[in-house]
Structure 1
Amino acid sequence: METTGLAAPRTERATTRRWLAVAVVGVGVFAMITAEQLPVGLLSRIGADLSISDGTVGLLVTAPGVVAAICSLLVPLSARRMDRRLLLAGLLLLMVVAQVMTVLADNLPVLIAARVLVGVTIGGFWATAGSLAVRLVPAHHVPRATSIIFGGVAAGNVLGVPAGTRLGELVGWRAAFLTLGGLGLLLFVGMLVLLPRLAAAAPIDLTALRTQWRNPAVRAAMLATLLIVAGHYAAFTYLSPLLRDVSGVGAGMVSSVLLVYGVAGLVSNFIAGSAAGSALRRTVAVVVFALAATVLLFPLLGVTTVGGFALVLVWGLAFGGVGVALQTWIIRVATTGAEAATVLNVTVFNFAIALGAFAGGFIVDNLGLSTMMWVSGALIAVSLLTVLSARTTTPLADSAA
């Protein structure tokens, strides 16, 4: 079995095996995103089955977000010397256990417990996988490899969530989670076979994390992540009731709308990944502006089925480029501390998911869907100030190497 130590591959060409390793990590991300986001498409059905409100069902997104934020720090610290291949495979196996618990759950507390396990897997997986591109391929291939890994995010939205939602519509929401568990088992085997042994880059400890925290450019990227992701998930978590109550989309059409969102996000992920390599600031600014505008305009222009479909398309195009753009930003400004900086940013990312889903649920239950969209859009818009005010002497600048 091939072993990779501290540095990225030094050969000018990445081998086929390395690209297969990148691909399997991307598919693992796909599974994690599907596990995290599947309740969004099935929210109304889960709520009806368990007799709970939409806002309460939103806890199925909030709970894993909170746990993932904590575990994105704890897992790398506790497994800092562990082979990354074994760590990722073990986290996938834990994800399978969580899906089995979900299938068997007959009340909200058990379902929340299963989602807590999902949070553990997401936090550990993201914190580890996010920086692997620099370990698996030569430097000039890193933007492409990062796009493939983060393509799992868009693929989860374009395939995983719509397919799971459709399966839930046809045979019940539990069947969707059971299928996801089966995929997790296949990925567990694939990870062990295709990924090379990967020793921890520089063992992550509190000193490494403090070093990255003291980097103003890293802090700026994390602040942008917090605002963008919290704003997005405050709205996106409640997309199903939003489409139902604002756009008049029938329950049987939600999977089709999510497919539109996912396809747009998949396309945007690779466009943004390519653009970020040479124009990072501009790429981040464009996707954030488009995201803010879409969310803010939804209560006004999304009041018909056609309008709802169109805005979800733009929404997918906008958010599809966010993940790869933010990760490219983090890798650049962190220089040699990419893994530690990624851990910090993943922590912020998952905390933002939990914060957004919780705040969105509170606003939906107390002030309504339209108010929630305006608050979410405003939060995303504020993040533009962080993006545009970053010092041009940092690697965020378009001209930076």
Structure 2
Amino acid sequence: MKAPAWGAVLSMALCVALLIASEFMPVSLLTPMAEGLGASVGQTGQAISISGLFAVAASMVVTTVAGRLNRKWVLVGMTAAMLVSLVLVAAAPNFTVLMIGRALLGICIGAFWALATAVIMRLVPAADVPRALSLMYGGQAIAAAFATPIGSYLGGLFGWREVFWALAPLVAVNLAWLVMALPSLPASQTQGFRSMLDLLKRRYFLIGLVASMLSWGSAFTMFTYLRPFLERVTGADVTLLSLLLLVLGCAGFVGTWASGRFVKGNVARLLRLPALLMGGCTLALLFLGGSAVAAGLFLALWGAMNTAMSVIWMTWMSQNADDAPEAAGSIMVAAIQASILLGAVVGGLLLDQFSITATFLASVALAVAAVALTGDGRRLLKPAISL
């Protein structure tokens, strides 16, 4: 076996950070973006849902469309497309152009994430996959820690467009690093729609897929509309908002460290933990979110589990669909992005038609469903694996 390509893993971690920052930057800029584009806050929240919609489509077809293409150049191409999407969003003269840029970003997100876990499995030995995943998702923690609070603060100082312009040179640097760091990754085998259908026929995989969708749906029904909650319930101004988002994001480093250290072997017992803890924090915010201190505490717990959730579920996938990792990655990414899409849509409708409380209650309800379906996790394992 070749030596682990940790440099390539780190380059993918930076790509993850930029993808997450680009995808969810509207969360911290939702109000000024809505004002600048002449749209409602709920409508502008669909800038997240449109990227989710196209990410779903891209993740389902990327392994088929890419065919025998070298996976290195597929990832490089998606990073270049991310750069184009940022330019479109930053320069958008109207809501339509903004949505086009966000749609292109969705394609990048779907294709990258569909291949990411399978690529990680080829870069390091099997025993190091959880650690490599935690490093890659460390990019998610970096974005969560710094992108949204800095975006909120800089958006208040210079404007939301300048925030997106600032991301562009970082993506250009990452593009060059990926070209240098990633080894050649010829397509080992084509895993198209037939492989996906075969996976969906496996009862344990289907149950796990639905449980993961409920977990992410719960998370992003809440997270997409976190800024309106903090503004209306906690009474946060731009400075306090940036501080609370920074607390949430920094806690993500704790979740990344913990998942890299403790997510080993059979992960069945950990699968219900993200929905249980994050749903509990969302419920607590409804009762105690008027206090900035209490809000900061619950957001810290939520943020730590948010980054750990990705490592936990993707480790489950790598262990229980190891015979078809690209097909499984496509399905998982499509399911997660569909959950983000529906969370943003439903949350926005509830916010516009009722209140932010209704949005957060919907998030809690999805978390309860996820915990109930997951149970102790044993029925989400391959028949050959036992506790």
TM-score, with structure 2 as normaliser: 0.96
Q: Match for residue 228 of structure 2?
A: 241
Q: Match for residue 86 of structure 1?
A: 73
Q: Matched residue of 1:359: which SS?
A: helix
TM-aligned CA distance change 1:396 to 1:157, over 3 Å: farther
Q: Match for residue 3 of structure 1?
A: none
Whether 2:200 is the aligned partner of 1:205: answer: no
Partner Cα separation in structure 1 for residue 279 and residue 22 of structure 2? 26
Match of 1:164 among 151, 154, 167: 151
**Equivalent residues of 1:281, 1:387 under 8 A apart:** no
Partner Cα separation in structure 2 for residue 393 and residue 260 of structure 1? 33
Instruction: Please list, as runs of the form range in 1=range in 2, the aligned pairs for 1:2-401 lying within 5 A after superposition.
Output: 10-11=1-2, 14-15=3-4, 18-278=5-265, 280-388=267-375, 390-391=377-378, 394-395=381-382, 400=387
Q: CA deviation at 1:303?
A: 1.3
TM-aligned CA distance change 1:176 to 1:396, over 3 Å: farther
Q: CA deviation at 1:149?
A: 1.3
**Equivalent residues of 1:230, 1:353 under 8 A apart:** yes
Amino acid of the structure 2 residue aligned with 1:138: P
Q: CA deviation at 1:176?
A: 1.0
Partner Cα separation in structure 2 for residue 137 and residue 23 of structure 1? 12
**Equivalent residues of 1:158, 1:259 under 8 A apart:** yes
**Equivalent residues of 2:45, 2:344 under 8 A apart:** yes
Mean Cα displacement is larger for which, 353-362 or 173-182? Answer: 173-182
Q: Match for residue 6 of structure 1?
A: none
Q: Matched residue of 2:322: which SS?
A: helix
Q: Matched residue of 1:132: which SS?
A: helix
Q: CA deviation at 1:396?
A: 9.8
Q: Match for residue 7 of structure 1?
A: none
Mean Cα displacement is larger for which, 250-259 or 182-191? Answer: 250-259
Partner Cα separation in structure 2 for residue 215 and residue 166 of structure 1? 47
Partner Cα separation in structure 1 for residue 70 and residue 153 of structure 2? 37
**Equivalent residues of 1:55, 1:362 under 8 A apart:** yes
Structure 1: which 4+ aligned runs deviate by more than 6 Å?
Answer: none
Partner Cα separation in structure 2 for residue 268 and residue 386 of structure 1? 23
Q: CA deviation at 1:395?
A: 4.8
Q: CA deviation at 1:392?
A: 5.1
Q: Matched residue of 1:260: which SS?
A: helix
Q: Matched residue of 1:81: which SS?
A: coil
Mind listing any 5+ residue stretches in structure 2 that lack a counterpart?
none
**Equivalent residues of 1:291, 1:315 under 8 A apart:** yes
**Equivalent residues of 1:22, 1:133 under 8 A apart:** yes
Residues 315-341 of structure 1: CA distance to partner in whole angstroms, max 9, x if unpaired?
Answer: 112212111111011111112112211
Mind listing any 5+ residue stretches in structure 1 that lack a counterpart?
1-9
Q: CA deviation at 1:162?
A: 2.4
**Equivalent residues of 2:208, 2:380 under 8 A apart:** no
Query: RMSD across aligned C-alpha pairs, in angstroms?
Result: 1.8
TM-aligned CA distance change 1:313 to 1:246, over 3 Å: same
Partner Cα separation in structure 2 for residue 107 and residue 393 of structure 1? 45
Partner Cα separation in structure 2 for residue 371 and residue 387 of structure 1? 25
Q: CA deviation at 1:399?
A: 5.7
TM-aligned CA distance change 1:261 to 1:161, over 3 Å: same
Amino acid of the structure 2 residue aligned with 1:87: V
TM-aligned CA distance change 1:99 to 1:281, over 3 Å: same
**Equivalent residues of 1:247, 1:307 under 8 A apart:** no
**Equivalent residues of 1:154, 1:269 under 8 A apart:** yes
TM-aligned CA distance change 1:100 to 1:213, over 3 Å: same
TM-aligned CA distance change 1:295 to 1:201, over 3 Å: farther
Amino acid of the structure 2 residue aligned with 1:80: G
TM-score, with structure 1 as normaliser: 0.92
**Equivalent residues of 1:225, 1:349 under 8 A apart:** yes
Partner Cα separation in structure 2 for residue 225 and residue 169 of structure 1? 35
